Structure 1
Amino acid sequence: MRYNVENMSGNNTKDQNGVKNDISGVQNDDQHGACTNPNQPQDARTSSIGVARTQDGHTQNGDPTQELLRALGTTISPDLLVEALTHRSFSHEHPGTKNYERLEFLGDAVLELVSTETLFSAHPDMTEGQLAKLRAKAVSEWALSAVARDKLHVGPYILLGHGEMEHGGAQKDSILCDIVEALIGATFVEHGIDEARAVVHRLIDDTLAEVLTEGPALDWKTSLTVLAHEMGLDEPQYRMSVSGPDYAPVFRARAVLAHENGDELLGEADGSSKRKAQLAAADKAWHVLDRRRKSSGESGN
């Protein structure tokens, strides 16, 4: 049985403990095949299934949230896990409900510490500026959102408000990146720095290895411009749009090559600011052009 988000709206708003109690109370019915409210939007029920399971079921065999915790390689208590998976759009619609922003703030610091110490040890001769560029690549929004999708498959577990859900929030790079940091923060709160460090390595060691191989680079917008010029292309342009509610605007950047017959899209990304969105879009666009350059070089040999 999936938790009915609709029952939390209007005058029936619950705090986070109320959500936990409701979900725990229906867990046994869920195991016997009970149905959700048929009038509830399918997307809302799908988005909340993972969180519903985590309240009581993440220690039970067959619970889908076990896969999330298994991918993290740790355990997180139900209240912290729910907080780490709750977007502010949900807490805005349901006052009294905690969202992941505090845990994200903490997790961002832990992630920066662990990635910094790893790069510092691996490159004793690099300057501070070079190390900073390596770290920026390793923990970029693009890199962390890929971790969220490919390693954690976290999208279905995120609690979103209805508006954010309708805008595809569970697949937005910015939100997925935040969730990864919040889960790291929750691990730190629950178990301390050693366990959090192990989780960070489990999640980003592959990315760190790639970064160590590639070496330091400029920020993604500058790197994209340099690469485009090296390939004889015009400087990429950025087309911007804004969506979402006023309290949580989402900026979308489209990195394009402008041609006479229209724009050629290279990369598209969302961010909580114009700069973040453009950097994330430039990151994706750089990889597209880099693959094109390598493919062209191979075909020319």
Structure 2
Amino acid sequence: MQQEEQEQVNPGNQAAEELFQALGGRISPELLVHALTHRSFAHEHPGMPNNERLEFLGDAVLELVATETLYKVHPDMTEGQLAKMRAKAVSEEALSAIARQKLHLGQYILLGRGESENGGADKDSILCDTVESLIGSVFVEHGIEGARTTVHTLLDDTLAEVATEGPALDWKTSITVKAHKLGLGEPRYAMAVSGPEYAQVFTAELRLEDGGTVIGKGRASSKRKAQLAAAAQGWKRLDDQDLLAALRAEQSA
């Protein structure tokens, strides 16, 4: 390993001490390097293990602690509600945000030259996987109690936040349920794509029946995100009594 890479993850330096503080626990130098080693770096350094097995372990520990926390904190919620909150809390989006905001993790990850040049240190997938590998390494060294402390340190704010989001956990399901309760039609999404292939923009228009009034519109970098944005807008607009009257008139016609 090159000298600068050794210094980057040396647990005795100030940056690594800040990482340990953010994690809520310490791990050995060897395990720390292991947890931070992306497969692209290991490929360029034969014989060096990557962090994928630790990621696999950390993912399971993360789900366990998140599940037991939600189960205890929300005794009146159904299995379906708890599952949606857990999925949101441990999603790639949530974990990559934790990696950036709490751990400032990009500076520590050991990446191969090509991955590094392609911005790998700020990719959601790599950040998310590395958070999981760090949780796995804490479990290896300190067992479930140590890992539980780390998960609570990293995730409790997120677990509290998702409990307040309500329908935002699943806007597409929520708009369907609300439309049915109001006696309206089934949500339909019309999609359009614009922009160059490397930077496509998806636009979704939401109607409650084919050819009806557009009640929600969303633009995003993926089809799913555009539809979620349209569903969120449509869900809120169904509180407008004038719109409801117009939609019912359309349905009668």
TM-score (structure 1 length as normaliser): 0.61
AA in 1 matched with 2:97: A
The alignment status of 1:72 with 2:17, answered yes or no, reads no
Aligned partner of 1:136 in structure 2 is: 87
8 Å CA contact 2:85, 2:169 repeated in 1 = no
SS in 1 for 2:163: helix
Aligned partner of 1:33 in structure 2 is: none
Identity %: 57
Distance 1:146 1:97 in 2: 28
Which structure 2 residues correspond to residues 83-94 of structure 1 after superposition, within 5 A?
83-94=34-45
The alignment status of 1:54 with 2:9, answered yes or no, reads yes
AA in 2 matched with 1:59: G
Aligned partner of 1:158 in structure 2 is: 109
Distance 1:77 1:107 in 2: 17
Aligned partner of 1:102 in structure 2 is: 53
Backbone CA RMSD of aligned residues: 3.9
| Structure 1 residue 133, shift from structure 2 partner | 1.2
Aligned partner of 1:257 in structure 2 is: 203
Task: Note the alpha carbon deviations across 1:32-90, whole angstroms, 9 max, x for none.
Answer: xxxxxxxxxxxxx6xx4xx52433xx235xx2221111111211111111111111111
Which among 54, 74, 77 is matched to residue 123 of structure 1?
Answer: 74
The alignment status of 1:176 with 2:127, answered yes or no, reads yes
AA in 2 matched with 1:119: L
Task: Note the alpha carbon deviations across 1:101-157, whole angstroms, 9 max, x for none.
Answer: 011011001100000001111222333222111100011000000000011001011
The alignment status of 1:187 with 2:138, answered yes or no, reads yes
Aligned partner of 1:5 in structure 2 is: none
Task: Note the alpha carbon deviations across 1:7-27, whole angstroms, 9 max, x for none.
Answer: xxxxxxxxxxxx3xx75xxxx
8 Å CA contact 1:224, 1:285 repeated in 2 = no
AA in 1 matched with 2:12: T
8 Å CA contact 2:121, 2:127 repeated in 1 = yes
Which structure 2 residues correspond to residues 212-231 of structure 1 after superposition, within 5 A?
212-215=163-166, 222=172
Distance 1:159 1:52 in 2: 11
Aligned partner of 1:207 in structure 2 is: 158
Distance 1:132 1:80 in 2: 32
Aligned partner of 2:247 in structure 1 is: none
Aligned partner of 1:16 in structure 2 is: none
Distance 1:160 1:237 in 2: 37
8 Å CA contact 2:24, 2:150 repeated in 1 = yes
Alignment size in residue pairs: 218
Kindly tell me: are residues 142 and 235 of structure 1, through their superposed partners in 2, closer, same or farther at Cα, counting changes over 3 Å?
Answer: farther
8 Å CA contact 2:8, 2:108 repeated in 1 = no
8 Å CA contact 1:169, 1:175 repeated in 2 = yes
TM-score (structure 2 length as normaliser): 0.71
Which structure 2 residues correspond to residues 279-298 of structure 1 after superposition, within 5 A?
282=225, 286=228
Kindly tell me: are residues 289 and 255 of structure 1, through their superposed partners in 2, closer, same or farther at Cα, counting changes over 3 Å?
Answer: farther
The alignment status of 1:266 with 2:220, answered yes or no, reads yes
Unaligned runs of at least 5 residues, structure 1: 1-18, 24-44, 243-251, 269-277
AA in 2 matched with 1:266: A
Moved more, 127-136 or 104-113: 127-136
Kindly tell me: are residues 103 and 138 of structure 1, through their superposed partners in 2, closer, same or farther at Cα, counting changes over 3 Å?
Answer: same
